[in-house]
Structure 1
Amino acid sequence: MENTTSKTLTGSNPKNRLSGTASALINLIFAIYSAICIVPLLLILSVSFSDEQSVLTKGYRFLPETFNLAAYRFLIKDIGQIAHSYGISIAVTVIGTLLSVMVIALYAYPISRSHFTAAKFFTFFVFLTMLISGGLVPWYLVYVQMLDLKDTLWSLIMPLIMSSFWVLIMRTFFKETVPGAVLESAKIDGAGELRIFFRIVLPLSLPVLATVALFQTLTYWNDWFLSLVFITDNHNISVQYFLYKMMMNIQYLSSNPIAMAEITRAGGMMNFPSETVRMAMVVVGVGPIVFAYPFFQKYFVKGLTVGSVKG
């Protein structure tokens, strides 16, 4: 009995084991994929610290031929606006992610329960929104005229709160993972639906909650379109949109000889860092968000796989 138990715990069943060749092949595939993800970031970081002239004449290199901080000195000139836009993006990302996870969970939990008679209707309703869209103009009018959110931070939060895809993923997780017997026991003990949801369901659903939170965090942080559409005051734009505007201005100046001549005549930079500053913008824009993943890593794989078993 003891021997059988140890084999079960250690997973020593030969049928469940991968051969050495298969294991090595899988490790090689993941190593190549990891390199494909990491190498471009290293190249971008290297180019951002390179001299503009060396990049233009000799191309991109993984090690800077001439170390130069001109691109970052160029960005520091707008450090006040960059810092403020960082604050806007951080606030929108934190508030939006928390509200998004809560709204998605509050919608997904009822439709995951078999005793909820309208579950099929609301499941089909949220699925239908993945297939049919009202269009850009009605979408804009709803937030600007009906909700009056133009030039407010809520205009950067509200449009991204609900995600039909993550509702269905979370619904499946609740349905397949949260034991129905535990919920019935809580009801027998006199617990209400809200208490069951917050005290039992959510603590048991940390993997899927962390997974949704991670992807919503990335969505909010990388968004620049909402600032373009709803914000007319540059003081309240996100850092992604600010860097996008700066990149467009640099692209215009670098492709316009007359404008470059005026900059030089006015005492501007002789060696305008058009290429290197674009890479520096990527580093500035992606920097903080790379530290978000370690906080969700513990639950990420489990939440993504268990929540997508079946509908």
Structure 2
Amino acid sequence: LETTNVPQMITITFNGAVNVDNIDLYETIFNGQRLNPNGCQIKGTFFVSHKYTNYSAVQDLHRKGHEISVFSLTHKDDPQYWTHGSYDDWLAEMAGARLIIERFANISDSSITGIRAPYLRVGGNKQFEMMSDQFFLYDASITASLGRVPIWPYTLYFRMPHKCNGNAHNCPSRSHPVWEMVMNELDRRDDPTFDESLPGCHMVDSCSNIQTGEQFGRLLKHNFNRHYMTNRAPLGLNFHASWLKSKKEFKDELIKFIEEMLLRNDVYFVNMLQVIQWMQSPTEINSLR
């Protein structure tokens, strides 16, 4: 498939509890009026943690076609707990949380297939053994450093196509039948042609130099081009809702960016599962509509 025929996919993800603090934000962004070029509504992925979550709101997001994924049961504050967690810890935290979401949000279609580790503290082979035993399809916690070209999601049947440099260096070292929805770091330089290199950031809110809506708008456009002009690897925009809510201009810039992108005919806002489905049967832009 020629790169020019590959749709530029963008995944908007949110980490954490879904409740009255952020439901209005989600309804504003995903208002049902914003459509991908094929006429389907844009979709997001929500990594839900248990505490403080309003499960009827989760049920609502799922009903509207958004993807619900797991962000753990306890979200324990001790990063070491995740890095050195036993098989049973990961089982209780992730499969346990999935069970609760399915039960409380009434999701009975086996559509909860992904997990993200709190603090992105990957649990090494134990985490991935548990995932494979419990039929989790993908993990979305491993970060790839800012490079010349972003990285496409990959399966862990084979060696990772990049170094394990964040994640407390605890990436899996054995083969696992699991997808990795890798988090490509964003380039947060204000003027990429001019500024010296800065380390990238994996969550948008960890780009601590972004203080104004204008800067955020530039960050979005520049990183879009980094993906679009090279190999069109999916662009991940990973948020905590509280950051987008901290300044109205952040939310406004994101919506403006989404609407500008939807004016093109080759950009799709999709959830993680849709990216995997596209990769399993790649379809060129013209055949998607």
Tell whether the structures are fold-level matches, with TM greater than 0.5. no
Query: With structure 2 as the length reference, what TM-score do the two structures score?
Result: 0.24
Query: With structure 1 as the length reference, what TM-score do the two structures score?
Result: 0.22
